[in-house]
Structure 1
Amino acid sequence: MKKKQIVVLGGGIAGIEFLVRITKRIDHSKYELCLVDKNEFHTWKPMLHTFAAGSASLQEQGMSFLIQAKRHNFTFQPGEVSEINTEKKEIILAPYIDQHDDEILPQRSVKYDYLVMALGSKANDFNTKGVDEFAYTIDDVGYALEFYEDLKKYIMQSTILHTKHHVVIVGAGATGVELAGEIAQTLQQASQYTDHDFDKHIDLTIIQSGDRVLPGFKRKISKSVQQTMDNIGVNTLLSTRVVEVTKDHVVLDSGKTLPADQVVWTTGIKATDVTGDIAKTERSKNAQFITNEQFRLLNHEDIFVIGDCSSRQNAPLAPTAQVARQQAIYLSANFMNLINKVPHIPPFVYKDYGSLVSVGRYGSFGSFGANAHIKGVLAHLAHVFLYRSHQINILGAFKGICAICADFLRSFSR
């Protein structure tokens, strides 16, 4: 008997968490699992800013999909989704191109019986002129590493030639704030080994359209983070919008211009683009796919959507790591009942465990419940715990703990 194909698109938090759980719940003599992702490694998306600032390494923190496929009994197809044809139950993958622009794999098709879309999201440029051409994003590890490679060049020029370099981050949400903290930390560390005034040669500015940083957090947290960024020399422009990005500056809504050798766009999100007849399905204003309360795509019995590219009908949730993880846990626990149309499956219930943000080594802050706030070591440990628990779940307890110990030793030796 031919096995039913369960295909997962996207190996981010939602996709990989779903896979490592569902593999324990299905009969592998009847079902086959397949992961499709354009990258070769899984990375924890909330730490992409550390790759962009050079404070974390893909070789150390990335988890190979091929290794995880062997460990968790699924197959891996590298490639970017080009088209989804729901009538044929077919996914078209674009040719797989390496870093040297050589074609490694041709265009291919992958058939599915059941599809789980976990394609994630990308920054929303709101059709701002010049963003596509001149701005960086850090939605993906490749983009984060591209930014860091260019940042290293500017650091070298500033070190040797004492030239001025301007970095502008657009968006003071969690990604923008954490990136600013990590870059400031990288500059401070570099200055210890070169010119003691080295960090003054690089100007770091963050721009926010609202009246405070971290608009999604409690005001007390925003105030504490603002003070921290002031202390580490990050310039903050509030109630200011960028209306155009050029090669060497940004244009503000006031008409003024700001020098910018590197612009990182972190504001807003929208779902990853997908073509084919699936593009005709109902979407949210951020292009997320609308699902029912059990994450089944509307009018499609065989397609489920979780993570940042998903929006529940009448009950949308913020695109965060904890939301994606809880969705994956719920769907994996109920998947077999859903595809077998078992009645009375309980709906998804989201549990908000609070919000955390880390400004490099300069401070960590968090909020829980209505009025509980934490900062310092306790907030840092809570922030670390989120990633480490995910890492242990993917790698297993023994290898996960070994990875944690290895990271600690590497950090200690630097």
Structure 2
Amino acid sequence: MTKKTQIVIVGGGAGGLELARRLGARYGRKRHDIILVDKNHTHVWKPLLHEVATGSLDANLDEVGYRSHCHRWGYRFFFGALEAIDRDTREIVIAPLYDEDGSELIARHRLRFDYLVLAMGSVGNDFGTPGAREHCIFLDERPQADRFRNRLLNHCLRVSHEMLADPASDAHVNIAIVGGGATGVELAAELYNAAGGLRHYGLEVFDEGRLGVTLIEAGPRILPALPERLAEAARAELEALGVTVLTDTPVTEVTADAVLLKSGARVPANLKVWAAGVKAAPLAGGDDDGLERSRAGQFVVRPTLQTSNDDRIFAIGDCAFCHLPGDERPVPPRAQSAHQMAATAYRNLIALQDGKPLRPFRYHDHGSLVSLSRFSTVGSLMGNLVGGRMAIEGRLARFVYTSLYRMHLIAIHGWLKGLALIAIGQVNAIIRPRLKLH
């Protein structure tokens, strides 16, 4: 019996899941074995995690179960974390799985590969700041977003009870967000949207006036990916909501109850979120596979998206360091980058097996959009149709922002189911509760 060509994809994020769907749909299970490996059972689009964290989005309605998805699209799913890559034997090592009581469910095991695609995404980069890892919540995956939401609701409930006991109480829920990029800004705005809705769900005496949010950015301004005018407009909107925005303010340490600043000031906080930069997600067993990496731990790839020293190993998305010839900067870690890389990796995996020339990756920057919840949306679009960069705000920006998620649904589900899910989402927005409180 002829051995099947085995293509293993590690990471079921935006790029990895789309690639698995494309390869499964093309090859099926007859002569190929397409395997997706992920340490989670379900996929949630990472740009939506700030909404999950505030309860504005019920992830149970939007998540994608890998096992049902793989059955539909002709690939296999393995639950586990990548521990190591054995390039000599063309195998990956999957770390052992443990039950909640510490008992081993599945022992450490190996999966062979003919071709390997690394799509593990990124995690928050604390830059070695003392206390950040211990005292901050990072929004890298759904369990962290769920943890933040539960702690947020508990603090809101505490303040509400204090106000009932003493109407003159000055109790607040203080939240410090480190990082003025898209994640930090969107979370800050979404918090006020959620706080405004709590009064309708049992916390009658709690409102957004009892919320104290401080956004801390080390650089000269928030949202450096956007034109300065739009960044200033976003800052003005945040400050109008009640957010305290601090720029040119490096953080030196995080404690259990505060964020300490380089200036010597102290920002008290019940909850602390770290959203200041990303780095490649590490392997469970360390990075000793011999693959070339960038300073942020990303896998260095050639324009074909093959790793610099192994033709059979590709890297896409946030875990790939792709500096294309002629470009001033490497490809940024964005969802649109992962989507475009998945398409190029798909074509090149086919070409590599057919003995045809591989295509170089071409990154098309379609712009950056930042949602300030229901209050506003700002961003810029880029492309030949607008002659370069076009600043957009308001309803048009909100429509484009929403369309990005709809395009993601179509990319991972196909047109038929993707459009059906978009329609269901519109219905859920009307009939479902405004906030998820459990």
TM range (shorter): over 0.9
Instruction: Give the aligned residue type for 1:327.
Output: M
Q: Deviations over 1:261-285 (max 9, x none)?
A: 1111011110011246654322112
Contact 1:248/1:261, CA 8 A, preserved across alignment: yes
Q: CA deviation at 1:99?
A: 6.1
2:290 to 261, 280, 293: 280
Match of 1:217 among 202, 209, 226: 226
Q: 2:71 is matched with which residue? A: 70
Offset at residue 102 of structure 1 (A): 6.0
The reply on whether 1:300 has 2:313 as its aligned counterpart is no
- 1:14-413 equivalences under 5 Å are 14-26=15-27, 28-97=29-98, 103-162=104-163, 163-193=171-201, 194-195=203-204, 198-274=207-283, 275=285, 278-313=288-323, 316-343=330-357, 345-369=358-382, 370-413=388-431
Q: What are the Cα deviations for residues 235-272 of structure 1, in whole angstroms up to 9, with x where unaligned?
A: 11111011101110111000111101111101111001
Question: Is the contact made by 1:84 and 1:276 (CA closer than 8 Å) also made in structure 2?
Answer: no
Aligned equivalents of 1:98 and 1:154: distance in 2? 30
Question: TM-score, normalised to structure 1's length?
Answer: 0.95
Report the count of equivalent residues: 413
| Cα deviation digits, residues 198-254 of structure 1 (max 9, x gap) | 322221111001121101111121011111101111111111011101110111000
Give the CA deviation at 1:141. 1.2
1:24 is paired with a residue whose SS is: helix
Give the distance between the partners of 2:117 and 2:11, measured in 1 at CA: 9
More off after superposition, 262-271 vs 387-396: 387-396
- SS class of match (1:239): coil
Letter of the aligned partner of 1:328 in structure 2?
A
- Whether contact under 8 Å (2:250, 2:261) holds in the other structure is yes
Residue identity matched to 2:108: Q
Read off the aligned partner of 2:399 and give its amino acid letter: L
TM-score, normalised to structure 2, is 0.90
- What do the CA deviations read for 1:119-166 (whole angstroms, capped 9, x no partner)? 000111000000111111001111111111111111111121233221
* Unaligned segments of structure 1, at least 5 residues: none
> Letter of the aligned partner of 2:352 in structure 1?
L
Which amino acid counterpart does residue 172 of structure 2 have in structure 1? Answer: K
Instruction: Tell me the CA shift for residue 314 of structure 1.
Output: 5.1
- Sequence identity percentage: 34
Gaps of at least 5 residues in structure 2 are 164-170, 383-387, 434-438
Give, in angstroms, the shift of residue 25 of structure 1.
Answer: 3.1
Q: Secondary structure of the equivalent of 2:161? A: helix
Instruction: Sort the Cα spacing of 1:331 and 1:318 in 2 relative to 1 into closer, same or farther, 3 A.
Output: same
Displacement of 1:56 after TM fit? 0.9
8 Å contact from structure 2 (residues 28, 75) kept in 1 = no
Query: Any idea what SS the aligned residue of 1:20 has?
Result: helix
Whether the 8 Å CA contact 1:180–1:234 is kept in 2: the answer is yes
Give CA deviations for 1:78-131 in whole Å, capped at 9, x if unaligned. Answer: 111122221122222223345676654333222211100000001110000001
State the Cα RMSD in Å: 1.8
Distance change (3 Å), C-alpha of 1:392 and 1:313: closer
